[in-house]
Amino acid sequence: MSRPTARARPATRTEPPSSKAPPPAVPAPKSAARNALKVKVPRAKRFVALAGNIGAGKTTAAKLISQGFGFELFDEPVIDNRFLRDYYGDMSRWSFTLQLEFLIRRVEHHELIHSVRKSCVQDRTLYEDPEIFAKYLHGLGHMTNAELDLYYEYFQRLSRHIVRPDKVICFDVSSEDVLLQRIRTRGRAEEKGIGKQFLKGLNGYYAGFPQVLQEKYGVDCLVVDVSKQDIRRGPGREEFLDRVSAFLA
């Protein structure tokens, strides 16, 4: 006969499952908490754009939003821009040309965004050029009156039927020293000649840009002061994505 190896234990030695308190809940890891953010974003397609001075951190933010929420990313057309190096070398000669180049490329982005089914994030808005850069370059004498008028005519014609962003996140960095440091850190060769005074002038225009977006173009805008906040990692990243989630909901 075989040994009864499967003999049941006496009932008195087995505790009922309900007699023990359940183990304490283990906090969800940060990665799981971040993934949960996606469910807070409306299922309807969203078009969000980033705005801010040179070096404010728009490209980093656009990539974070794309990765964190699954949005299609539309980069600012600067890396392969055929006029950017010449522009920084001689603004009076190339400002009008560069503004037209940016206008065409950003309108193309809007057309593509309209055709894409998923939500999209755009690195720099279409509206910063006519409301900030074109006006500023004209004020500095780098664009003539005729060039500015012609630029606005092109802008009106090309942007007449495009879809506007649902939301814009505008980065505020009041310190030109911080902007310069970030520009130097990313190390784009064509930006080496950017000076503190040039950034200060742009900051003057950016101060009123959120109001222009809301009142002139009817676009809701969230202003985020990132002068001291590092959104690339750690608590700064988490806080930024939480604010974006609430803003887009």
State yes or no: is 80 an active-site residue.
no
**C-alpha distance from residue 25 to each of 21, 22, 28, 220 (Å):** 11, 8, 9, 39
44, 100, 141, 151 from 96: Cα distances, Å: 38, 6, 11, 7
φ/ψ (deg, to 5) at 41: -80, 130
Annotation: binding site for substrate: 76, 88, 99, 124, 129, 191
DSSP string, 91-152: HHHHHHHHHHHHHHHHHHHHHHHHH-SS-EEEES-TTHIIIIIHHHHHHTTSS-HHHHHHHH
For residue 32, which phi and psi values (nearest 5 degrees)? -70, -40
Binding positions for ATP: 52-60, 182-186
Residue 230 DSSP code: -
Cα distances from 137 to residues 45, 91, 129, 148, 211, in angstroms, run: 35, 8, 10, 9, 21
Say which of 86, 123, 177, 242 is annotated catalytic. Answer: 123
The catalytic residue positions are 123
